Amino acid sequence: MNVAADNRWPSSHIALHARYQNPQDAPSNREFRELTANQEVWRFARAYTDACGIISLEKFVELYNSCAPEPVSIFEVNETIWKIKEESGRIDNPCILSKDGELYLIAPELDDTVENNPYYYDDYGYSYRRYERHSEYTQEMRSLRERRVQSRRAAIFTGHKQHPIEKLDYEDIVCGYASYTQSVNNLKLYILNDSKLGAASLHAREDEFDFIMAKLLRSIGLNGMPTAQQTTEDAEFLLIVVRPDFYKQAEINKVSKLLAIVYENTPLWEFNGRSYTELKSEKTLEPPVPTLQRTVQPKQAA
């Protein structure tokens, strides 16, 4: 593939790739104006880090080119990664990790570069705070977070050696569909299907529901299947924030059951994109239950 000709790149653009041949390199702000992110590659990068937590860059390009109508070169992938690194504040933007001479795309929760991380970690619960509260314990808390992240990252690398990657469907990625999408929609419909809710109120509650579910799903991927008690606590929290008028024992029980179905269909990073349901069907050993207590805050508390 003649990348420069196919993309009609000017000579300055070609020279930029000659200077920066590694996705970890950082072109200057002026040079960034010449870059173009491939939105479909970006979408695939998010989908695979959402499902697997970690994927080697080489394997990612191979999987993308095996199903995409138009294969991409490593140059286009590098451009997309540079643009991803430039944009912060997204809950699902992949990061780059170099390990044993190989580059990996990783979920932001697995990035221990605390200074540049857009999330404030607390037992893997995180909010949109772009700062840390500095105190005499700041360095100690940073070290604790780094150790926890490194521990989970090591466990995921070990798990990936035992389980081949779960290849994602091209059309599902393009359409934004995941293994848990239908069960999440069923849960949302149950909680928010009320004709008494006004349009503005419904929109606000939908936003809050989506925000909380995104964080819960990523926590499941990172930490594994929760206990029944943790699922109930998540259901209670979801109702308190989204539908406090629904906060009754009967509703908590129903939402807990629906939430458990969501969790059972959520890809687990340690098992390279397989869900608990898939692992059971493959007669794989039951995924370990997390020992960490997860905390998730609503946007208002961030």
**Among candidates 23, 72, 21, which has minimal Cα distance to 44?**
72
**Among candidates 264, 263, 235, 262, which has minimal Cα distance to 251?**
235
Say which residue the tokens 């692992």 belong to. Answer: 279
- Note the pLDDT of residue 291: 47
- Note the pLDDT of residue 210: 92
Helix ranges (H only) for 105-248 are 138-162, 170-175, 181-192, 199-223, 228-242
Residue 99 Cα distances to 21, 223, 267, angstroms? 17, 22, 23
Number of residues in the chain: 302
- First-to-last alpha carbon distance for the chain, in angstroms, is 47
Q: What is the pLDDT along the chain (302 residues), one digit of tens a residue?
A: 455 555 566 677 777 777 776 766 767 666 667 677 888 999 999 999 999 999 999 999 999 999 998 888 888 888 888 877 776 546 678 888 889 989 899 998 888 764 444 444 343 343 433 344 555 666 676 777 788 888 999 999 999 999 999 899 999 998 988 999 999 999 999 999 888 888 888 888 999 999 899 889 999 999 999 999 999 999 999 999 999 988 899 999 999 999 999 999 999 999 999 999 999 888 765 555 554 545 444 454 43
* Stated pTM of the model: 0.80
- Note the pLDDT of residue 196: 83
Residue 253 Cα distances to 5, 235, 236, 249, angstroms? 60, 8, 9, 6
- Note the pLDDT of residue 90: 62
Distance of CA 279 to the CA centre of its chain: 20
